[in-house]
Structure 1
Amino acid sequence: MVEIVFGFDFGIKRVGIAMGNTLTGQAQPLAVVKAIDNAARFTQIGALIDEWRPSKLVVGEPFHPDGAEHEMTLRCRRFANQLHGRFGLPVQLVDERYSSAVIQAKRGEVIDDKAASIILQQYFDDHANLC
């Protein structure tokens, strides 16, 4: 059965969202959610979930290059827990340490959805035999 999967690159000001499916195992940028508060953020995310009906959510989990946690690690875990609690979908965390290094962005270009697609692609690549 083909399943749609969403990937998230969480940020305080913006959340990048990517989508892909288990048939092709390919991720692509979908949207960038810019919200001033959690209620607005989850309303926008909820609309995308209602439209696309993903079966699983993947959230990038940032670490320092040496593997140490930092403030955003905890914020991303909280975001993942909130996604699970609000939408009742399974959520998996994926190490996103090097996802930003892959993207070379022009100054001022919003890249959050592209970062989300790299996070989701990493999930597909790591779980190719399970999809």
Structure 2
Amino acid sequence: MSCVLGFDVGTRLIGVAIGNRITGDARALTVVPMRDKVPDWEALDRLMRDWQPQALVVGLPLALDGSRQPMTRTARRFGAELRTRYGINPDFADERHSSQEAAQRFARQRKAGLKRRRDGAKVDAEAAAVIVETWLSGLPPTPLS
């Protein structure tokens, strides 16, 4: 059980990241469009088929004080749709500050010449990587055998 797909759900895009429970790391993968509050399920179907994750993690947007906000319901609904569609019960991870961390990472990578301005569209995928890393850091170590 090593492959994890993570999602940062927004109103226009869903950032997607891949994580590994054995190594404890994650990386940005792609963004999937939302049209009229409906995800591009064909794109998500392809990601599920290609990566065959054993776990799913959805970022849970909370206000700074930890209370719910309007996007909290959207993320929970997306998680329920994932469960229905793929038969995997997703975990939810607090995503407070994930977007800021993703933006800072992007800025550092641009400064180092590793990213270009046009790569900015994938900041949501980087936020998903932060969410997966947060979730992975709270898990007990996975045995290698």
TM > 0.5 fold call: yes
Which has more radius of gyration? Answer: 2
Residue-by-residue CA offset, 1:60-104 (whole Å, 9 max, x unaligned): 001110111111001100000101110111200001012122122
Which structure 2 residues correspond to residues 9-24 of structure 1 after superposition, within 5 A? Answer: 9-24=8-23
What's the counterpart of residue 49 of structure 1?
A: 48
What's the counterpart of residue 111 of structure 2?
A: none
What's the counterpart of residue 32 of structure 1?
A: 31
Measured after TM superposition, the shift of residue 23 of structure 1 is 1.5
Q: Percent identity between the aligned chains? A: 34
What's the counterpart of residue 101 of structure 1?
A: 100
Number of aligned residue pairs: give it: 129
Residues 29, 125 of structure 2: 8 Å contact kept = yes
Measured after TM superposition, the shift of residue 130 of structure 1 is 5.3
Q: Which one has the bigger helix percentage?
A: 2
- 5+ residue gaps, structure 1: none
Q: Quick one: which amino acid aligns to residue 6 of structure 2? A: G
TM-score under structure 1 normalisation?
Answer: 0.90
TM-score under structure 2 normalisation?
Answer: 0.81
Q: Quick one: which amino acid aligns to residue 103 of structure 1? A: A
What's the counterpart of residue 4 of structure 2?
A: 5
Q: What CA RMSD, in Å, does the superposition of the two structures yield over aligned residues?
A: 1.8
